[in-house]
Amino acid sequence: KQTQVIVFDSLPFDQQRDLRHALLSNNNKIKNYVGRLLIRSNQTRVNGTQQYFIKRLAGELIRKIQEDPISNEERIKGLGFKGQVQYYYKTFDPTDKNRKNYRDYLANDNEAFRKERAQGFASHIIDATMLLADHIDEKMSKSTGHNKKSLIDVVNLKKLLPQQYESVIVRSREKYRKGNIKAKPLIKDTMYSVRFLPFIVSKDAIGFGFNPKQCLKLKNEAGNEVFELLKSLFIAPPKTNLVGISFDELIEKSKTTKRGYIYLPIDRRKALGLMHNQFHKKEADAEKQNLAERRIAFLRALEYRSLKKNIVDLLSDDSKKKASNIINELHDSKKTNSIKKLSLKPSMFQTKDPFYGDSKCEIELPFHKSHWLKLSKHSAIKKMKNSNATNQPELWKQIYSDLFTQFNDSQKHKKVRNVFSLPRIDNPSGAIYVRRRSSYGEDVFQLQAIAAEKTIGFRISNENPKLNKDSSETINIYKNSSNAFLDENNLTERNDSSVRMDEKRLIELNEDEQKRAPWLEAFIISPASAERRRVELTVNTNKFFADFHDQFRDLSIVTKEQLYYQLPAGLVKLKTVKDINLFSAIHAAPRTDTSSIEILKVNPTEQTISFTYSVGTQPKSDKVESIFNKSIDELYLESEITI
């Protein structure tokens, strides 16, 4: 039957099998018939979803209309309709030619209503209004005393258009707002490698690094103290027992080695185990606790993390870097990058003890010399100079053959590597160490990144209220799990009050501030994250248009009316955020690496635009001086108007 509709998933297994096989039949008549059945089944599903959406939308519209039926009836009758106003819903063909005709009438009167290829978020509303106009026009033509087609008049068409356009951004609820936090991913899959700089002992130098020439040097008198502090975490050299050896004996022993120095790596399992235990439970004895904290301060400063990166991606990154650029960086001794060097400063060790002879040092990473440098010197890489590295398959094949491990005949049954990668320094944003058990029953700690947000908000002290990383409050599931610990101290004490990351506050302008910023209708701030605030501005269109109309990327908006009707909803990329008067007035520009704002609301009647963006990290000394004499954080903390 032509009207027959099947739902494939609800069919018995044997019928599902027969239908699949029928699609492979050589009999075109059978194959085409089954194909039509399945297509109609999919259409039924889609149309069912659309029907549900339309019913919900119509119900919402009718509810809104009936909230103020008198004014709505007057509005409709003002167009010339003399019959009884009734509310119902009906579906229309969105490609109806009359809709296009009505919109053309509007566009001929004002280009702002012209339908662009990149449609603004008001464009769909205009199309829907034109469909409504067509339907009302049809009904009005049957109404007694109605002048047929008078609705096509541009003035009447404009009366139907809404006076405000609002973009309702649908976002998933924050983790801390969900009843079941495990319904959202907690950690990302990517795993980072964790290493600690080893302790170097020689007659000429004592410090942390990979050899005496490249290490953060300690003062000689501090060597013994540091050695004793970390001794239990060191991996002893062959035929050496560190338990009963003194630091002076270790120096003497270093003189007899072939290298002229002793290299003491830190046992990662022990070090991370200590950090894990300290995160969850403090020592009862104050002296032992102080010793543990000093050890952890050293470990955090000595730790460095890396992530293996596909070398083709790295040599041809998002900015389309040519191979020659990365080669120059690898050979340039003055450059410090994530492949070549690690920078260390004594301040990283969070200690006031005068241990250090160096103010700063740069240490060459082992994988730079052993891998990246060899790669940069390879003849195939040199042939890629001034070209896109992704388009050189034969050259990469040669590199893989020469520099990477090849599988021999006995390994052919094993999985073949398709991606060739090398490590580079990389730090996850929001790190968490996850404890797992190895096949030998030992604890293994793996560093991963927290998925999305990890903080609930900030703990606010009455004595010294601040919004910063140190006062951020982590979601309980991360800090309370016995099989994980965070890359921070576990602050269990509660402060006087707290604010959530999504808690918005309205900033009131005093009389003087209103005079200096008459264009600023509303200024809202929310904490958003541990380091960046989110602001929402409602500004007068004149100010917005003057500052922004030539800053939109890929948009040709030249009049204010075009701004109202052609501005896209959501994210709008900007060419630059520098020297824009609106931002300089409140000293809060979007982050320069994103250079975008998110449009929330457009109101042609009140001539306002509302938008939001994330504020770039500002130095502590910066103030919002053009209008306010306070920073963004100070404004937020002093406001008592929560919305």
pLDDT 10s digits, 67-77: 776 666 676 66
Residue 290 contacts residue 261 (beta carbons within 8 Å)? no
Q: What is the largest CA-CA distance in the chain?
A: 113
Residue 358 contacts residue 216 (beta carbons within 8 Å)? yes
Residue type, 106: L
User: How far, in Å, CA of 239 to CA of 327, rounded?
Assistant: 42
User: How far, in Å, CA of 252 to CA of 231, rounded?
Assistant: 17
Encode burial over 558-594: b for 16+ CB neighbours within 10 A, e otherwise. eebebbbbbbbbeebebeebeebebbebbbbbbeeee
- Averaged pLDDT for residues 352-370: 71
**Secondary structure (3-state) at 164:** coil
Lowest-pLDDT choice from 83-92, 339-348, 401-410, 442-451: 83-92
Encode burial over 269-281: b for 16+ CB neighbours within 10 A, e otherwise. eebbbbbbebbee
Per-residue pLDDT tens over the stretch 461-515 = 777 788 877 788 888 888 889 999 997 765 545 445 788 999 999 999 989 889 8
pTM of the model: 0.68
Question: 308 - beta bridge partners?
Answer: 423
How far, in Å, are 191, 192, 324, 546 from residue 432 at the CA level? 10, 10, 36, 46
Q: Where are the alpha helices (DSSP H) in 346-463?
A: 366-367, 373-377, 379-383, 393-403
411 alpha-carbon distance from chain centroid: 41
Per-residue pLDDT tens over the stretch 16-49 = 888 888 888 888 888 888 877 776 655 555 555 6
Residue 577 contacts residue 595 (beta carbons within 8 Å)? yes
User: How far, in Å, CA of 419 to CA of 180, rounded?
Assistant: 37
- Number of Cβ within 10 Å of residue 442's Cβ equals 10
- Averaged pLDDT for residues 131-146: 69
User: How far, in Å, CA of 487 to CA of 490, rounded?
Assistant: 9
How far, in Å, are 414, 583, 638 from residue 603 at the CA level? 63, 21, 30
133/598: higher pLDDT:
598
Question: 443 - beta bridge partners?
Answer: 437
- Averaged pLDDT for residues 148-160: 75
What is the overall mean pLDDT for the chain?
79
